[in-house]
Amino acid sequence: MTNQSSFQFIPVARASTDSPAKNKPASRKRWWIIGSAAAVLILLQFFGPTLENPAVDPLLANEASLQLPTDARHVLHTACMDCHSHTTEWPWFAHIAPISWIAAHNVDEGREHLNFSRWGSYTPKQQKKLLDEISTVVRHDRMPPTLHKLAHPSARLSTNERFVLYFWARGQMSRVRE
Ligand code: HEC
């Protein structure tokens, strides 16, 4: 009997006296964490990358040597040009670090692999290879990258749009004179 009542008493005492005393530092700690995270985020903004769109040389640009019918042009512009040309449209959230690093990195790498604004600087052999790769990534739905589609729902391609781009790329391949 005595054992039982003291057993019941202890948890009650813990709950009523301990918790307010413990809660205070805990919530202060929480604010410290939130405050420091905010400070770090604000500081990061000063070290963000510059998001650049280098000039497009019309002689090197895609129109100079590719046939671009309206439907293919539309798909390329809504889904691919943000990373594979110098005509990137940077959304507002791309300017906020750390998203800006990811965005700048993706665009740098995308332009390195395939840059429509420098199309004319590729040799015919390179152009053919790139068109072949375009048809492959479109057929397997590997582009645009998943993260990009989450941030830009309009860049998601329908099956029909993938067909358009696939047949456009195959058709252009046969036009390239090596
Ligand atoms: C968010 C930026 C982004 C968008 C939008 C995007 N790409 Fe890419 N693309 C990349 C990056 C980064 C790479 C290089 C790394 C890789 O292969 O994943 C790449 C690589 C490629 C390659 C080379 C593939 C290889 O195997 O090396 C092709 C071809 C390509 N993309 C085509 C497209 C096409 C076509 C579209 C539109 C339907 C598109 N991309 C949209 C970022 C992008």
pLDDT, tens digit, for every residue of 126-136? 999 999 999 99
Lowest mean pLDDT segment, chosen from 24-28, 134-138, 174-178: 24-28
Amino acid letter for position 120: G
Examine the pLDDT at 2 and tell me if it is beyond 50. Answer: no
Pick 114 or 46 by higher pLDDT: 114
d(CA 10, ligand 1 centre) in Å: 64
Higher pLDDT, 61 or 170: 170
- Ligand 1: residue of 62, 84, 172 to mutate (most ligand atoms within 8 A of CB) is 84
Q: For a pocket test of ligand 1, which of 88, 109, 113 has the largest count of ligand atoms closer than 8 A to its C-beta?
A: 113
Residue 17 pLDDT: 52
Identify whether the C-beta of residue 97 lies closer than 8 Å to the C-beta of residue 41: yes
Q: With a 6 A CB cut-off, is 164 part of the ligand 1 pocket?
A: no
Provide the CB-side half-sphere exposure for 22 (13 A, CA): 6
> Given this model, what pLDDT does residue 139 score?
97
Mutation test residue for ligand 1: of 143, 147, 158, 170, the one with most atoms within 8 Å of CB = 143
- 24 versus 105: which is more confidently predicted? 105
pLDDT at 49: 85
What's the 150 CA to ligand 1 centre distance in angstroms? 15
pLDDT in tens, 39-64: 999 988 888 888 888 888 776 776 66
Report whether 79 contacts 141 (CB < 8 A). no
The pLDDT tens digits of the residues spanning 91-100 come to 999 999 899 9
Q: Check residue 159 and give its pLDDT.
A: 97
Q: State the virtual CA torsion across 69, 72, 74, 75 in degrees, nearest 10.
A: 180
Q: What is the rounded (10 degree) CA torsion for 36, 37, 39, 44?
A: 140
How many whole angstroms from 138 Cα to the centroid of ligand 1?
Answer: 10
For residue 167, pLDDT over 60 is answered with: yes
Question: What does the domain layout of the chain look like in residue ranges?
Answer: 2-47, 62-175
Residue 71, pLDDT > 80, answer yes
Nearest CA residue ID for atom 14, ligand 1 = 110
Ligand 1 atom with the shortest distance to the CA of 107: 2
